[in-house]
């Protein structure tokens, strides 16, 4: 294996030499939380289960933005239960953006791959081994979960929400042709250096942030693989899709349309 890698002389070969033995690959899950006291223990339990069943080396980095509901206390308990080498609590004083949460988390990440997901149980850790398999299969820079392809789907959405989601996705595909089917999803695996580079470039907030990450990835010629996922809308707590979200989504979409 080593010889076939070394014999290639394309610009990629240098990168491929850096690819480590699968056993040495480590996956850092970044979990930004805000008032997820109920969900955090459950998602961590599911993560530990999924990783240990498939024998993957991992760590979970919890970035709590000063939740008033005691998320931090629960995180500290989880740190004790599972060990401080597996569960790392790296809180911040107050609510700052998602992008800075990822930057903050990555500073403490020791893995060479980063997985980002929501802590509200809408993203199930059982898909992570599939993400990893997909990444290795195509040596992708990014693997994105998709609700819109193959066996992917959603649970807990009414007709109106489905129409808005499918409509927004259709318009986005027509306008941006991004090369990935789920732009607003936030269940993804990145090479660490790729995520670092992308975050430097991205300026948007909210839904548009995830969309901009994929659009910038295409600009920088990063490769993207996709894995169908089932998205189970918030079990505890409220899911939000108001007029404000739609307006800011459209603004963000048009900004990306005009500038990228």
* Positions in the binding site for another protein (CB under 8 A): 11-12, 38, 41-42, 45-46, 74, 77-78, 81, 121, 124, 148, 151-157, 159, 162-163, 166-167, 170, 174-177, 197, 219-222, 230-232, 235, 256-260
Indicate the residue among 21 and 259 with the shorter CB distance to another protein: 259
Indicate the residue among 24 and 259 with the shorter CB distance to another protein: 259
Residues 6+ apart with CB under 8 A from 212: 201, 202, 203, 204, 252, 256
Least distance to another protein, CB of residue 96, Å: 27
Least distance to another protein, CB of residue 35, Å: 15
Cα separation, 61 vs 85, in Å, equals: 10
Cα separation, 67 vs 215, in Å, equals: 31
Least distance to another protein, CB of residue 196, Å: 11
Strands (E), the chain: 26-33, 57-64, 87-89, 113-116, 142-146, 153-155, 188-191, 224-228, 230-232
Least distance to another protein, CB of residue 12, Å: 7
Indicate the residue among 49 and 95 with the shorter CB distance to another protein: 49
Least distance to another protein, CB of residue 78, Å: 7
Q: Residue 9 burial by CB count (10 A; 0-12/13-18/19+): exposed, middle or buried? A: exposed
Q: Residue 83 burial by CB count (10 A; 0-12/13-18/19+): exposed, middle or buried? A: exposed
Least distance to another protein, CB of residue 240, Å: 19
Indicate the residue among 97 and 130 with the shorter CB distance to another protein: 130
Least distance to another protein, CB of residue 49, Å: 8
For the chain, give percent helix, strand, coil, nearest 5.
50, 15, 35
**Structure token digits, residue 49:** 């289960």
The pair phi, psi for residue 129, each rounded to 5°, is: -55, -35
Indicate the residue among 103 and 154 with the shorter CB distance to another protein: 154
Query: What are 224's strand-pairing partners?
Result: 142
Instruction: Give how far Cα 54 sits from Cα of 18, 145, 258, Å.
Output: 24, 19, 44
Indicate the residue among 4 and 221 with the shorter CB distance to another protein: 221
Indicate the residue among 1 and 159 with the shorter CB distance to another protein: 159
């Amino acid at each position: 294996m080593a010889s076939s890698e070394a014999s290639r002389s394309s610009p990629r070969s240098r990168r491929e030499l850096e690819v480590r033995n699968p056993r040495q690959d480590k996956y850092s899950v970044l979990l930004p939380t805000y008032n997820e006291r109920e969900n955090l223990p459950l998602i961590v339990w599911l993560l530990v289960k999924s990783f240990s069943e498939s024998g993957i080396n991992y760590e979970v980095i919890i970035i709590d933005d000063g939740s008033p509901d005691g998320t931090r206390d629960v995180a500290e308990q989880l740190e004790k239960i599972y060990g401080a080498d597996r569960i790392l609590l790296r809180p911040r004083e107050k609510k700052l953006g998602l992008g800075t949460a990822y930057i903050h988390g990555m500073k403490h990440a020791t893995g060479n791959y980063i997985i980002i997901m929501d802590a509200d149980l809408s993203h199930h850790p059982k898909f992570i081994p599939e993400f990893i398999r997909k990444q290795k299969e195509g040596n992708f820079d990014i693997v994105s979960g998709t609700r819109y392809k193959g066996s992917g789907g959603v649970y807990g959405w009414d007709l109106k929400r489905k129409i808005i989601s499918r409509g927004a996705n259709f318009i986005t595909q027509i306008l941006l042709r991004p090369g990935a089917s789920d732009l607003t999803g936030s269940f993804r695996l990145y090479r660490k250096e790729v995520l670092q580079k992308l975050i430097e470039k991205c300026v948007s907030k909210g839904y548009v942030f995830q969309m901009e990450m994929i659009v910038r990835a295409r600009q920088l010629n990063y490769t993207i693989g996709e894995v169908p996922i089932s998205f189970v809308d918030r079990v505890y707590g409220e899911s939000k899709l108001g007029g404000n979200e739609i307006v800011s989504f459209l603004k963000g979409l048009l900004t990306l349309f005009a500038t990228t």
